[in-house]
Amino acid sequence: HGDNLQHWSWTSVPGSRYPENAKLEEVCSLDIKGEISTKSLSQNTTYGVYFVFKLMHTECTGFERVPVKVSVSEVHERCYHPIADKSVYLKPQEESPEGLPRPTERGDGWMEVEMGTYRVGVDDDGVREKVVLET
Protein backbone atom coordinates (compact mmCIF):
# COMPACT_ATOMS: atom_id res chain seq x y z
CA HIS A 1 0.00 0.00 0.00
CA GLY A 2 1.00 3.63 -0.49
CA ASP A 3 1.26 4.18 3.27
CA ASN A 4 4.30 1.86 3.43
CA LEU A 5 7.47 3.99 3.32
CA GLN A 6 9.26 1.23 1.38
CA HIS A 7 7.14 2.13 -1.67
CA TRP A 8 8.33 5.76 -1.72
CA SER A 9 11.60 7.50 -2.47
CA TRP A 10 12.60 11.16 -2.38
CA THR A 11 14.06 12.50 -5.57
CA SER A 12 14.90 15.72 -7.38
CA VAL A 13 12.77 16.35 -10.47
CA PRO A 14 14.16 18.75 -13.12
CA GLY A 15 11.88 21.76 -13.50
CA SER A 16 10.07 21.19 -10.20
CA ARG A 17 9.58 24.15 -7.90
CA TYR A 18 10.33 21.87 -4.93
CA PRO A 19 13.86 20.65 -4.08
CA GLU A 20 12.56 17.17 -3.17
CA ASN A 21 9.61 15.27 -4.58
CA ALA A 22 7.97 12.10 -3.30
CA LYS A 23 8.19 9.32 -5.88
CA LEU A 24 5.84 6.36 -5.60
CA GLU A 25 7.64 3.27 -6.84
CA GLU A 26 4.91 0.64 -7.20
CA VAL A 27 1.69 -0.17 -5.36
CA CYS A 28 -1.71 -1.73 -5.91
CA SER A 29 -3.61 0.94 -3.98
CA LEU A 30 -2.94 4.52 -2.98
CA ASP A 31 -4.31 6.75 -0.21
CA ILE A 32 -3.07 10.32 0.19
CA LYS A 33 -4.28 12.49 3.06
CA GLY A 34 -3.40 16.02 4.01
CA GLU A 35 -4.78 18.98 5.84
CA ILE A 36 -4.22 22.70 6.21
CA SER A 37 -5.26 25.15 8.90
CA THR A 38 -7.37 28.06 7.66
CA LYS A 39 -5.13 30.32 9.76
CA SER A 40 -2.70 30.00 6.83
CA LEU A 41 -5.33 31.21 4.33
CA SER A 42 -6.98 34.57 3.60
CA GLN A 43 -10.49 35.15 4.94
CA ASN A 44 -13.40 35.73 2.52
CA THR A 45 -11.54 33.85 -0.23
CA THR A 46 -12.49 30.81 -2.31
CA TYR A 47 -9.65 28.38 -3.02
CA GLY A 48 -9.41 25.62 -5.60
CA VAL A 49 -8.10 22.33 -4.23
CA TYR A 50 -5.92 20.50 -6.76
CA PHE A 51 -3.97 17.27 -6.86
CA VAL A 52 -0.72 18.10 -8.70
CA PHE A 53 1.42 15.19 -9.87
CA LYS A 54 3.77 13.95 -12.56
CA LEU A 55 3.69 10.49 -14.11
CA MET A 56 7.36 9.62 -14.41
CA HIS A 57 6.87 6.77 -16.86
CA THR A 58 4.52 6.65 -19.82
CA GLU A 59 3.97 2.96 -19.14
CA CYS A 60 2.12 3.68 -15.85
CA THR A 61 -1.00 1.55 -15.99
CA GLY A 62 -4.27 1.38 -14.13
CA PHE A 63 -4.96 5.09 -13.82
CA GLU A 64 -6.56 5.29 -17.26
CA ARG A 65 -9.12 2.59 -16.47
CA VAL A 66 -9.98 3.06 -12.80
CA PRO A 67 -11.15 6.38 -11.36
CA VAL A 68 -9.92 7.49 -7.95
CA LYS A 69 -12.11 8.99 -5.24
CA VAL A 70 -11.19 12.48 -4.05
CA SER A 71 -12.78 14.47 -1.26
CA VAL A 72 -12.39 17.77 0.55
CA SER A 73 -13.80 18.21 4.06
CA GLU A 74 -13.89 20.80 6.82
CA VAL A 75 -12.76 19.58 10.21
CA HIS A 76 -14.45 21.02 13.30
CA GLU A 77 -13.36 19.45 16.60
CA ARG A 78 -12.71 16.01 15.08
CA CYS A 79 -15.96 16.06 13.04
CA TYR A 80 -15.62 15.93 9.26
CA HIS A 81 -18.05 17.90 7.10
CA PRO A 82 -17.71 16.96 3.40
CA ILE A 83 -17.48 19.86 0.97
CA ALA A 84 -16.60 17.97 -2.21
CA ASP A 85 -16.70 14.24 -2.91
CA LYS A 86 -16.20 12.93 -6.44
CA SER A 87 -14.29 10.54 -8.66
CA VAL A 88 -11.62 11.58 -11.17
CA TYR A 89 -9.17 9.87 -13.51
CA LEU A 90 -5.42 10.45 -13.11
CA LYS A 91 -4.43 9.64 -16.69
CA PRO A 92 -5.25 12.23 -19.36
CA GLN A 93 -7.18 11.06 -22.40
CA GLU A 94 -9.61 12.56 -24.84
CA GLU A 95 -12.74 11.74 -22.89
CA SER A 96 -13.75 9.57 -19.97
CA PRO A 97 -16.61 7.13 -20.48
CA GLU A 98 -18.59 8.47 -17.51
CA GLY A 99 -17.74 12.13 -18.14
CA LEU A 100 -15.52 12.19 -15.04
CA PRO A 101 -12.81 14.87 -14.80
CA ARG A 102 -9.35 14.08 -16.14
CA PRO A 103 -6.12 15.94 -15.40
CA THR A 104 -4.72 18.63 -17.64
CA GLU A 105 -1.06 19.28 -18.27
CA ARG A 106 0.30 22.51 -16.84
CA GLY A 107 2.94 24.62 -18.52
CA ASP A 108 5.65 23.12 -16.30
CA GLY A 109 4.98 19.52 -17.44
CA TRP A 110 3.10 18.51 -14.28
CA MET A 111 -0.53 17.33 -14.30
CA GLU A 112 -3.36 18.75 -12.19
CA VAL A 113 -6.94 17.75 -11.50
CA GLU A 114 -9.37 19.79 -9.42
CA MET A 115 -10.65 18.01 -6.33
CA GLY A 116 -13.07 20.75 -5.29
CA THR A 117 -13.27 24.29 -3.96
CA TYR A 118 -13.16 25.61 -0.42
CA ARG A 119 -14.41 28.96 0.89
CA VAL A 120 -12.73 30.52 3.92
CA GLY A 121 -15.21 32.75 5.74
CA VAL A 122 -14.63 35.56 8.21
CA ASP A 123 -15.08 33.35 11.31
CA ASP A 124 -13.17 30.26 10.12
CA ASP A 125 -10.25 30.84 12.49
CA GLY A 126 -8.47 27.55 12.99
CA VAL A 127 -10.82 25.30 11.01
CA ARG A 128 -8.83 22.70 9.13
CA GLU A 129 -9.39 21.49 5.62
CA LYS A 130 -8.77 17.79 4.98
CA VAL A 131 -8.02 16.44 1.51
CA VAL A 132 -8.17 12.75 0.65
CA LEU A 133 -7.30 10.83 -2.52
CA GLU A 134 -7.83 7.07 -2.56
CA THR A 135 -7.81 4.32 -5.15
Give the domain extent around 41: 31-134
Mean pLDDT split into 10-residue runs, the chain, 135 residues: 71 81 74 82 90 73 74 78 84 72 87 88 70 67
Predicted pLDDT at 58? 59
Asked whether residue 8 is domain-assigned, the answer is no
Predicted pLDDT at 131? 64
- Number of compact structural domains in the chain: 1
Predicted pLDDT at 13? 79
Is residue 90 packed enough to be buried (19+ CB in 10 Å), middle (13-18) or exposed (0-12)?
buried
Asked whether residue 96 is domain-assigned, the answer is yes
DSSP annotation string for the chain: -TTSGGGEEEE--TT-SSS-EEEE---S--EEEEEEEGGGS-TTEEEEEEEEE--S-TT--STTTS-EEEEEEEEETTEEEEEEEEEE-SS--S--TT-----EE-TTS-EEEEEEEEEE-TT-TT-EEEEEEE-
